[in-house]
Amino acid sequence: MPYEPPPHLSALSLSDLADIVESRRLPAVETWTPTHIGESHMRIAADGAWFHKGGRINRPAMVRAFSALLTRDDSGQHWLVTPAEKLAIAVDDAAFLATDMEVRQDAAGRPVIAFRLNTDDLVLAGPDHPLRAAGTPDTPAYYLAVRHGTEARLNRSTYGQLIDHALTVSPPDTLAIESQGARFGLIPA
């Protein structure tokens, strides 16, 4: 069956978003103990493009499949993990890009911020998927925890959406947002 990307975020209710997030079947890479460790000869560029031996991987379905196998260890090394192999992959910045966001309200009226990634994954920011501010106050960069230690960097338009939202809910000198009951400061330390 061919892959069909989810609808645009703006067309989805919070219930729809939660259903899509829940329905994504991901391999249990955290339970695998591969015996072979090696090099994948792959790289994820800062713009989210994937490369193998210098050639760009142009098939979105392949990128989506590989992305489900990604982990990052405590030293910051990214790995493609299968039951048989654990292969190092070079990542220029973050493994994913957040390319869109929407804010919804849960049943209690609390904000929930949903992000779409360049792999069409949907991630709901919150305690399990925190946002972090990096860089400097003059040149900030924002990252969203995805899974298995990996992160998504917010692209320029998504960064703009996040700041526009933050300015409606907090004063500029304490720029912060909330999602699923967690609060995230947006001014880099």
* DSSP letter (8 states) at residue 129: B
CB-neighbour burial class of residue 81 (10 A; exposed 0-12, middle 13-18, buried 19+): buried
State the pLDDT confidence band at 3, using cuts at 50, 70 and 90.
Answer: low
How many angstroms from the chain centroid is the CA of residue 127? 14
pLDDT at 1: 52
Write out pLDDT tens, residues 23-63. Answer: 777 888 989 999 999 999 999 999 999 999 999 999 998 99
pLDDT at 76: 96
Averaged pLDDT score across all residues of the chain: 92
CB-neighbour burial class of residue 152 (10 A; exposed 0-12, middle 13-18, buried 19+): buried
Mean pLDDT of 115-124: 94
Coil vs helix vs strand at 88: strand
Where along the chain do its domains lie?
A: 25-91, 96-185
- 96-185 and 25-91 share a CATH fold: no
Tokens representing residue 123 in the block: 């991630």
Please report, rounded to a whole number, the percentage of residues in the chain having pLDDT higher than 90: 79
Report the alpha-carbon distance of residue 72 to residue 70 in Å, rounded: 7
C-alpha dist (Å) from residue 148 to 29, 70, 93, 123, 136: 8, 7, 16, 13, 26
State the pLDDT confidence band at 65, using cuts at 50, 70 and 90.
Answer: very high
State the pLDDT confidence band at 71, using cuts at 50, 70 and 90.
Answer: very high
pLDDT at 168: 95
Class of domain 25-91: alpha beta
Coil vs helix vs strand at 22: helix
- Are 29 and 84 contacting, i.e. CB atoms less than 8 angstroms apart? no
Write out pLDDT tens, residues 143-171. Answer: 999 999 999 999 999 999 999 999 999 98
Class of domain 96-185: mainly beta
How many angstroms from the chain centroid is the CA of residue 106? 21
pLDDT at 12: 74
* DSSP letter (8 states) at residue 11: G
Which of 2-16, 65-79, 98-112, 146-160 shows the lowest mean pLDDT across its residues?
Answer: 2-16
- Are 46 and 75 contacting, i.e. CB atoms less than 8 angstroms apart? no
